[in-house]
């Protein structure tokens, strides 16, 4: 009987420790680490960035400035965040989620919306991940796939 009780307590402690405790500490209309140029035509690059459980679990920013930098740099071309929600994660780290705005980025001559070809397949670039990969939705497919820029040709 004691073994079952101890095992039950260990399971509860283990499962309770795996979650992410997040506490909303503020809502902000716009937040940025850089000066915003009023003459630039900024566009929304990613909606609800930083909102997934995985992104929250991986939040390791010790201060708000780092949290803003992490989120903005996670989106190519990102400059600032609108509709930001600021969280304290596990009473130790800060995480931010919101809509990332910026200028349209391009890597290796490719940008979002370009028509590309990989071998005999045609598709459209859905998003730029970093300077090496992008997400391409091939014609007739429902899910975009991660592709190296070196493997595709703009058409």
Q: Do 56 and 32 share a structural domain?
A: yes
| Structural domain ending residue among the three candidates 65, 87, 102 | 102
Domain hosting residue 132, numbered range: 106-154
Residue 134 lies in a domain: yes
Q: Say if strands 93-102 and 78-89 run parallel, antiparallel, or are unpaired.
A: antiparallel
Residue 15 lies in a domain: no
Q: How many CB atoms lie within 10 A of CB 128?
A: 23
Residue 71 lies in a domain: yes
CATH of the domain at 110: 2.30.30.30
Residue 82 lies in a domain: yes
Q: How many CB atoms lie within 10 A of CB 58?
A: 14
Strand partners, 115: 124
Q: Do 96 and 30 share a structural domain?
A: yes
Q: Do 69 and 124 share a structural domain?
A: no
Q: Between 58 and 141, where is the model more confident? A: 141
Residue 5 lies in a domain: no
Q: Between 132 and 10, where is the model more confident? A: 132
8 pLDDT tier (thresholds 50, 70, 90)? low
Q: Do 124 and 90 share a structural domain?
A: no
Residue 4 lies in a domain: no
Question: In the β-sheet with 133-138, what is the strand arrangement from edge to edge?
Answer: 145-148, 133-138, 121-128, 115-118, 153-154
Count the domains in the chain. 2
Strand, helix or coil at 133? strand
Q: Is the pLDDT confidence value at 87 over 60?
A: yes
Residue 11 lies in a domain: no
Q: Do 86 and 116 share a structural domain?
A: no
Q: Which residue has the tokens 């420790």?
A: 17
Report the percent of the chain where pLDDT is more than 90: 48
Residue 136 lies in a domain: yes
1 pLDDT tier (thresholds 50, 70, 90)? low
Rounded to 10 degrees, what is the CA torsion of 61, 65, 66, 71? 100
């Amino acid at each position: 009987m004691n073994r079952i009780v101890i095992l039950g307590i260990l399971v509860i402690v283990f499962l309770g420790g795996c979650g992410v405790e997040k506490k909303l500490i503020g809502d902000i209309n716009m937040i940025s680490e850089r000066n915003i140029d009023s003459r630039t035509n900024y566009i929304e690059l990613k909606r609800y960035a930083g909102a997934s459980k995985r992104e929250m679990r991986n939040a390791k920013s010790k201060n708000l400035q780092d949290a803003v930098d992490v989120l903005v740099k996670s989106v190519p071309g990102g400059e600032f965040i609108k509709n930001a929600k600021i969280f304290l994660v596990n009473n130790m780290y800060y995480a931010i989620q919101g809509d990332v705005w910026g200028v349209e980025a391009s890597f290796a001559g490719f940008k979002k919306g370009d028509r590309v070809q990989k071998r005999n397949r045609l598709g459209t670039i859905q998003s730029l991940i970093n300077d090496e990969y992008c997400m391409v939705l091939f014609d007739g497919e429902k899910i975009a796939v991660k592709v190296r820029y070196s493997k595709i040709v703009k058409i």
